[in-house]
Amino acid sequence: MNREHQNTECTNKELLDKDQFKHEIEEICRIYPMRRSALMPALHLAQQQYGYLSVQAMHEVANILELPPVQVYEVASFYSLYHTRPIGTCHLQLCTNVSCMLANAEMLMGVIKQTLAIEQEQTTHDGRFTLSAVECLGACDKAPVLQINNEPYIEHLTELQLRKLLAQLIEQTSPPAEWHQPETDKVIKVRNV
For residue 169, state whether it binds another protein (rule: CB under 8 A). no
Question: Which of 134/166 has CB closer to another protein?
Answer: 134
Per-residue CA distances from 43 to 60, 73, 101, 120 (Å): 10, 10, 32, 24
DSSP for residue 154:
B
Amino acid at 186: K
Phi first, then psi: give them for residue 53, nearest 5 degrees.
-95, 85
- The amino acid sitting at 57 is A
192 binds another protein (CB under 8 A): no
Cβ 160 to another protein, closest distance in Å? 20
Cβ(43)–Cβ(61) below 8 Å: yes
Which of 62, 82, 120, 122 binds another protein (CB under 8 A)? It is: 82
Q: Which stretch binds another protein (CB under 8 A): 122-130, 137-145, 162-170, 183-191?
A: 137-145
d(CA 55, CA 131): 23
Strand partners, 145: none
**Using the rule CB under 8 A, is 111 a contact of another protein?**
no
- Interface with another protein, residue 167, by CB under 8 A: no
Q: In a 3-state reduction of DSSP, which class is residue 42?
A: helix
* Peptide bond before residue 144 is cis, with ω within 30 degrees of 0: yes
**Binding of another protein at residue 1 (CB under 8 A)?**
yes
Nearer to another protein, 40 or 165 (CB): 40
Q: Does 118 bind another protein (CB under 8 A)?
A: no
Pick the piece of the chain touching another protein (CB under 8 A) from 115-123, 150-158, 169-177, 181-189. Answer: 150-158
E strand or H helix at 65: helix 55-65
Q: Is 158 in the site for another protein (CB under 8 A)?
A: no
Q: Which residues bind another protein (CB under 8 A)?
A: 1, 3, 6-7, 10, 31, 33-34, 36-41, 43-44, 74-75, 78-82, 96-99, 101-102, 135-143, 147, 150-152
